[in-house]
Amino acid sequence: MPTKAVTDASFEDDVLKSDKPVLVDFWADWCGPCKMIGPALEEISEELVDKVTIAKMDIMANTDVPGQIGVKSIPLMVLFKDGKPVAQKLGAAPKSALKGWLEGEL
């Protein structure tokens, strides 16, 4: 399953009310490191499809949720379980590191 785009309007239903964990990647089009990890997150989304949903939120188009969560730097990945943030990772990393971190948190 490819990554899912979420917005301020869809965040509650897509993330907080999800029946499985959701990793939200807060990103922006002008962010080089965000673009670097994009393909890796797409691949991880396919590989872990039964365990986690990977969502992406453009912080330039959606400012409410990032403001509430306190996003100050990107890329920021926040893992939500049962509607609550349980882990986060700031900055770009190789696919193996991202997947290893995520699997360790699931």
List active site positions.
Answer: 31, 34
| H or E segment to which residue 22 belongs | strand 22-27
Query: What is the distance between the alpha carbons of residues 17 and 40, in angstroms, rounded to a whole number?
Result: 25
Pair 75, 91: CB distance under 8 Å? yes
